[in-house]
Structure 1
Amino acid sequence: MKDWWEQLMHLSDYFHKMGVVLSRVNNSCRVASREPVNTSQTVSSICDREVNSAGSDHSSIMPIGNKACEPEEVLVPACPEIACVERGYITPHQVYNLLNGEEGQPALYDLYYILILDCRSAERYKVSHVVTARAAVTVIHPGLGCLISCTELQKYSIILLYAEEGCSPVGSVKARADSPDLQRCFFQLSALGMDPVILLGGFSAFNALYPFLCTPRMVLLEPERHTLIIYPSEILEGALYQGSVSQASDYRIIKNLHITHVVNATANSPDAFPNTLCYLRLCLSDNAQQDLVEALPLASRFISRALKAEPSGRVLVHCSMGRSRSSAITLAFLMEHRCWSLLNALRWLKERRACTAPNVNFLRQLLTYEEQLFGSRLTCLDDIRR
């Protein structure tokens, strides 16, 4: 128990450190198996078939006794693995979620949400760059210094720099040799009181994972930003995504993210592509009366089976806005199949999707689900309502 508590404290410290970047986002935007319920179409048949019936509705089926809600064995709680990232760097996965962050409206619509500086040559910038990025020479001149006033720079919540490649420690001999312009930019901004971060692996690493978020166009002004596609949050890299019904209905998003399976947790929105994707339809309402006793284990098993599909399953969980119902589904999966407490799962999710906000009714049911999975209550309601 002592070791587990120390791990939890270590995790809390980690999330506090990682919260520096996340707080900027918020400020700028203001394994135990579980048997499925006895339905006419089980989760097994849903995943084994290439296409699921668009009219299937698993939310109205009554549970068969209490056994449907009891795990076959008690899970042992684990902590999320902490990625080792050099000081001053941010991963492509984190940048993806920052670019697609939203709280009320997409964060990128805010001109001062993030300043992205491309520290490569002007020629490479013109070929392609991260969306909304500016050529560094238009902001920081290597010889003359800052071309944007400190007052203006301080308005940005995040300042992101990137070169073509690179992951060496900031200020090291290798880093200065590999990307001198970027290093000059980094220390120049730091000297001005800024706190810039560097894209780990540079443009090449980001472009390899998210080519659809790279463009030869300059997208700087607010009207141009409103034309951008905002993608679902990436909860597990290259595997699990969470978003809104509008994102689930945009085939460009489905295609670019290679989505194969969808959990539709809306009450009234139909499955958008029933002839192409495999769906689990859960007609859920975002209110204090909605019972999740069947939906949580059903969706958890569906997601698990989908992620194991060949060649590579990718799942999108969505409700209307991608905040409450979809969050409850995602949290239940992380708890059951990653063996994380509700507190750890919620911290993980909020770090990747800042607008996560399951209603109090769902939080209470998730606490009950946690107790069923682990045999005891690990999380306090007050801790997760803060």
Structure 2
Amino acid sequence: MTWKEMGVLLSRVNNSCRGSSGEPVNTSETASGSICDGEVRGADSDRCSVAPIQNNERVLVPAFPVSAHVERGYITPQQVYNLLSAEEGQPALYDSYYILILDCRSTERYEDSHVVTARAAVTVIHPVLGCLVSCVELQKYSTILLYAEEGCSPVGSAKARTDSPDLLHCFFQLSSLGMDPVILLGGFSAFHALYPFLCTPLMVLLEAERHTLTIYPSEILEEALFQGSASQASDYRIINNLHITHVVNATANWPDAFPGTLRYLRLRLSDDAQQELVEALPLASRFISSALMGDPAGRVLVHCSAGRSRSSAVTLAFLMEHRRWSLLHALRWLKERRACSAPNMNFLRQLLSYEELLFGSKITSLNDIRR
């Protein structure tokens, strides 16, 4: 099937999947071809398809990604989660100097539970003695993160001085040394509410201890869409902790790990210059959209072998079609949340064709996304 033929198919699906109100409804139609071995597997596998969101001209109107405004010097719990999940060759968290997390609460609260790899702030910034770690040592860290129990009052405000004096002491001490620390919005309580599995009473500091940590898939859309590796998709603890309900398996040979528990879309894709995506992209986009729009809403994990190329192509196609983002904006969004994402050049060219099919014209150039 060519991209032109796929455009006709999308238009037909679009028309057949709208009720009298013009809103999309579920359909069991799937793209034909040999890309899948039983395209959708698991319970209720007929609810797998949602039409692309299109206007009367049958093309999408481009939209811009909108993120919640975060003041400079602050970081959201989701951003911290993705920092802890980052991979580039190997998990970034395995590097002892990747991130310095300082728990600015009481010793008792720290010993009860803290963000994984966090140190009690008093071991770095003493209330009386000041900095206990040399400036040279501090400069080795790519990120220095501070958190209190809760709250997100502006640094220097009267409320912040009352709510978290120890955090402010650490912040200004580090700033005076030329560091650029960031503060966790909502504090430990906000992070723990979303990611309790990344909190622990254990002190994890040494590199050998870090290698025992579980590395999670990246969170692309909050509490909705995740992207990772085949090994992560086969770890039931990860699946359970993230409340995953649907999985897009974009590997050629890796088996579906939990077919009796989760709903799967199996795409047998190879990460090479010959692999065509013309049927896989709209099929995967409909599957993901159906899962996220379900009642109750599901959570989707998209994976290939390493979580870099094939899974990125699938995620980008979904963001273009159902968020109405150009390929350039979708790629920027993805890279901010999963820095190791890297669709191969063949996939990028096909994504450019898919963008033109969805929006009716070229928006992104190859040069835009090769920078």
**Band the TM-score falls in, shorter-chain normalisation:** 0.7 to 0.9
Q: Deviations over 1:183-210 (max 9, x none)?
A: 1100110000000000000000000000
Match runs of 1:180-219 below 5 Å: 180-219=165-204
Q: Which residue in 2 is equivalent to 1:362?
A: 347
How big is the shift at 1:36? Answer: 3.5
Q: Equivalents in 2 of 1:264, 1:119: separation in Å?
A: 41
Partners of 1:322 and 1:356 within 8 A in 2:
yes
Q: Equivalents in 2 of 1:226, 1:307: separation in Å?
A: 33
Q: Which residue in 1 is equivalent to 2:66?
A: 81
Partners of 1:90 and 1:199 within 8 A in 2:
yes
Q: Equivalents in 1 of 2:274, 2:45: separation in Å?
A: 28
Alignment counterpart, residue 124 of structure 1, candidates 109, 127, 133: 109
Q: Equivalents in 2 of 1:123, 1:166: separation in Å?
A: 19
Partners of 1:106 and 1:230 within 8 A in 2:
yes
Q: Equivalents in 1 of 2:298, 2:151: separation in Å?
A: 30
Q: Equivalents in 2 of 1:86, 1:177: separation in Å?
A: 20
> 2:271 aligned with 1:286, yes or no?
yes
Q: Equivalents in 1 of 2:260, 2:116: separation in Å?
A: 32
Tell me the TM-score normalised to structure 2 length. 0.87
Q: Which residue in 2 is equivalent to 1:10?
A: none
1:39–1:51 CA distance, 2 compared to 1 (3 A): farther
Q: Equivalents in 1 of 2:164, 2:225: separation in Å?
A: 33
How big is the shift at 1:242? Answer: 0.1
Tell me the TM-score normalised to structure 1 length. 0.84
How big is the shift at 1:310? Answer: 2.5
Partner letter of residue 126 of structure 1? E
- Match of 1:292, SS state, is coil
How big is the shift at 1:170? Answer: 1.4
Alignment counterpart, residue 162 of structure 1, candidates 143, 147, 154: 147
Q: Which residue in 1 is equivalent to 2:158?
A: 173
> 2:35 aligned with 1:50, yes or no?
no
Partners of 2:33 and 2:279 within 8 A in 1:
no
Match runs of 1:5-84 below 5 Å: 36-38=30-32, 46=40, 50=43, 73-84=58-69
How big is the shift at 1:32? Answer: 8.7
- Match of 1:117, SS state, is strand
> 2:322 aligned with 1:337, yes or no?
yes
Q: Equivalents in 2 of 1:207, 1:51: separation in Å?
A: 33
- Match of 2:247, SS state, is strand
- Match of 1:73, SS state, is coil
Provide structure 1 residue ranges, at least 5 long, that are not aligned to the other structure.
1-30, 54-67
How much is the aligned-residue C-alpha RMSD, in angstroms?
A: 2.5
Q: Which residue in 2 is equivalent to 1:111?
A: 96
Q: Equivalents in 1 of 2:225, 2:352: separation in Å?
A: 22
- Match of 2:302, SS state, is strand
How big is the shift at 1:382? Answer: 1.0
Partner letter of residue 181 of structure 2? P
